[in-house]
Amino acid sequence: MIENSMFEEEPDIVDLAKEPCLHPLEPDEVEYEPRSSRLLVRGLGEHEMDDDEEDYESSAKLLGMSFMNRSSSLRNSMSVYRQSSNGSCSLPSTRTMVVCTVILVIAVALIMVIYLLPKCIFTKEGCHKKNHTMELIYPLATNGKLFPWAKIRLPSDVVPLHYDLVLQPNLTSLKFSGSVKIVVNIIRVTWKIVLHSSGLNITKATITSAGGHQEKPAELLEYPLHDQIAVMAPEALLAGQNYTVNIAYSSNLSDTCYGFYKVSYKDENSRQRCFAATQFEPVAARSAFPCFDEPAFKATFLIKIRRDEKLSTLSNMPKKATIPVTNGIVQDEFFVSLKMSTYLVAFVVADLKNISRETNGSLVSVYAIPQHINQVEYALNTSVKLLEFYQNYFLINYPLEKLDLVAIPDFQSGAMENWGLITFRESSLLFNSRTSSARDKKLITAVIAHELAHQWFGNLVTMEWWNDLWLNEGFATFMEYFAMEEIFPELHSDEDFLNLIFKAMMKDSLNSSHPVSSAVQSSEQIEEMFDALSYIKGASLLLMLKHYLTKDVFQAGIEVYLHNHNYGCAQSDDLWDSMNEITNGTLDVKKLMKTWIVQKGFPLVSVVRKGKIISVKQEKYLYLVEPENWTSDESYLWHIPLTYITSSCNFTHCTNAYLLDQKSAVIELPEEVEWIKFNVDMNGYYIVHYGEDWKTLIDLLKKNHTALSPKDRANLINNIFSLAGLGKESLEKAFELIDYLNKESSTAPLTQALFQLSLIYNLLEKKGEQQLAARLMHRIECLLGDKIDQQSWTDDGALSQRELRSTLLAFACTHDIRNCRTTATEMFEKWMNSNGTMSLPSDVMKAIFTAGAKSSDGWDFLLKMYSSSVSEAEKSKMIEALASTEDVRKLIWLMQNSLEGEVIRTQELSHIIATVSQSLPGYLLAWDFVKENWEKLTRKFHLGSYMIQNIISWSTSQFSTKAHLVEVKSFFESKSEQSSQLHSVKEAIDTIQLNIQWMERNLAMLQELL
């Protein structure tokens, strides 16, 4: 739709029919751009309207404006009704009446034609059928010429088949040069090849036909707003033919951990060193080489990298040959890759060491900088086990001859699944037996499991477009926890997954949530898809489906999906169709799962028990942050695979199932029961309200809490506190339910209770209700004090016991409960007096460091040890402790230094802001820091990136006043439209509104309860 505001700036008018010098333009190439960056061409584009009604409305506005402009001078010079000298109106003449009548009839007829004529769009040539080509609107290229494409997505008339890429990075000048030859196939006759390029200085562009050897110079047009270039052919490119596009270019190595970027680190002699690495997902391959940078444009790649002979290189494929180029420079050539998307291309130029092991014909290697090579053995052993498990489960072998896992010293995300060359943040791959805790081991295992699962889900079969990112990330997350349960049951990873689901549901319950599969176009929108909903909600929906279909049917469906789409792309429906091949008509998986994928949020299931009759009802779970603007969500309906156990049989094999595919239903039990618990082990993505039966379940926990599994107990704690926040249950009842905790010994329910109580404590503390917060902490101490006292300051016990110890002692020391801080401070002082040589128990190291950082001397010593430590696990705990100080000047220094990345790595910034924002002295500082450095932050991390999402969320999550709500809204509204429209900004505003609502609803109740 063309907005009227476009006419305010009087844009140039170009009639394509009168411009023979312009390259011919194909149909279906129109998209409206911001008026500051486009040129107006008369007419409307055929795909610009969402429906016929919008077409008519747009045409009517244009015609109406034209009519008004033409008639305005007439109205100024002549009046239909003439006023007499005495101020009264004289009657119009007969001629005037006739003219007016004719004009009125014409106007009415015109309006009726525009609004009532079906399938017709009016232009200056008259009525066109909607599917006919019309004159189009195109933007301007950087040279002032017309750029022949206006959409964010690339045209489909040209597809890449193969890339020959040559790169030469210079780690001294921090620049790189490159050339790429792209073999393309022409689907439809065209004069242009449109592809992506970002920040590249292109010096040459030519085209060669398949049968010819002569490179023909081609005109190059650039449109930076969409990161696009157009190679304009000197002659028509014929359908069915292959051509080679040759492009030479240069650029700077990025300083943002994005694209082809510089990595800095200190070697074993404390000398500053650097190397180059890549991070292309989702849209940064275009900043390293011109390419068709969309996941569906899969191709093969031949990569050659020129480097200093003292360094080494890695890429997706094994190295084929190394040849000398000039004095001190050699070129590494790698074997041609499998067919893959551009975001999976990767290369590293560095000085690294490795250890390797072969499994099933593939060589698995783990690489690190030399001083960290003694910390990679656990990762290698874990990778081999996981690779073997996935090959057996999917019945498809890993297709490459090698798999490299590389620890990168400065890496923004946790890891990246590049095919054959997986890159990791060091803390996600390196395991130090002396300083890595039980939780560190679990994290490393989980990240490796996730990235290896991607070698099938994402690499072998790729989502067609970023709207279905969950097919990659949801599946990899699901397989990560499933594989860990199967191979490493002692890690109890299912409990971690449970807590992640609870947090994802908090996000999904907000007005600002989005469906798992959401339409996206811009790079910011694509970046924002990398969130808890794509990862955790996507994974939890697969978990729910697996339990409903049974594990064997689910596994068979996955095998069909992978076999049907290997080396290709898929959409969500392709997965459901594969599942339906196995269910064979007994269940329509597509119909069931579409209710979860295309709708945002999740259901609240209300349960009423009367004798043997169980009435269940579903509605959308939603916080009403603005009730006056709320409209009914009656249209929301999920097909919910309900599960339940009862007092008559509460073992796993006694789980009952019922598909609730209507608003309400009745379940009849074979006999009356004492209690019923729905959503067994939280395997379903919904919350349950038990009404009067909450009292029954509270009594059950008090008398015999082990009648329910630990996950079921955690599920009840989460649900009742969530319902209290929603206003559907009282906070008093929620506190009554957790009174049993003094008998609890399992990690999952204790962790969930601490999480819920910490949320309340933080709100009270930041609201200025310190006395009430202290009373809440006393209540927690009464519940868990004995449990805290029982913890030893060692690394003894099973892994689950060790993890619980870490959680309880870290909480106790942070809030100065019992003697925790005294004990921790004594241990810290002994460690400091030994100049850091004394060994500390890894599971309680964070608690010890946090206590030590309370003093100025302790903080300074911890910072010095951070700079010299070679253990990433130890450094991570040190950073959190340093950010826990109450010294405001130190907090400011820490955040600022991390942004600069000199002493503290930039990758730690979101972690630091998260920790600072939790404390009373720091929560306003964190927000002030974000405001003052917003432009720097968005240059460093990109709008929409997961890092920016976290920074926005953490820096605002503690606010619960209307003044802060106004401040946050005003700040983002004062920034660019892209900033104010971020999902994470809307989520932050929703969260503050909820905090305000929660305090208004529950403050008085808390004063009575505590």
> What is the C-alpha end-to-end distance of the chain, expressed in Å?
59
Per DSSP, the three-state class of 923 is helix
Q: For residue 402, what are its two tokens?
A: 């090698």
Query: What distance in Å separates the CA atoms of residue 566 and residue 457, rounded to the nearest whole number?
Result: 10
Question: If phi over 0 gives left and psi between -120 and 50 gives alpha, with beta otherwise, what is residue 585?
Answer: left
DSSP class per residue in 706-754: GGS-HHHHHHHHHHHHHHHHHTSS-HHHHHHHGGGGGG---HHHHHHHH
Cα–Cα dist 812/816, whole Å: 6
In whole angstroms, what is the distance from residue 380 CA to residue 366 CA? 6
Determine the Cα–Cα distance for residues 291 and 302; give it in Å rounded to an integer.
13
Residues 6+ apart with CB under 8 A from 834: none
The Cα 536–Cα 554 span in angstroms is 19
DSSP 536: I
Check whether the bond before 282 is cis (ω within 30° of 0). Answer: yes
CA distance linking residue 580 with residue 494, whole number of Å: 28
Partners of 276 in the beta sheet?
Answer: 262, 349
Measured over the CA atoms of residue 550, residue 551, residue 554 and residue 560, the dihedral's sign is negative
Our answer to whether residue 33 is catalytic in this structure is no
Give CA–CA dist 648/670, Å, rounded: 10
Of the candidates 33, 135, 451, 880, the residue annotated as catalytic is 451
**Cβ contacts of 1 within 8 Å, gap of 6 or more:** 32, 48, 49, 54, 57, 58
CA 113 to chain centre: 47
Show the CA angle centred on residue 629, arms to residues 623 and 633, nearest 5°: 60
Q: Output the six-digit token pair for 463.
A: 């989502």
CA distance 216 to 193: 14
Q: Are 972 and 932 spatial neighbours (Cβ–Cβ below 8 Å)?
A: no
User: Which amino acids are annotated catalytic?
Assistant: 451
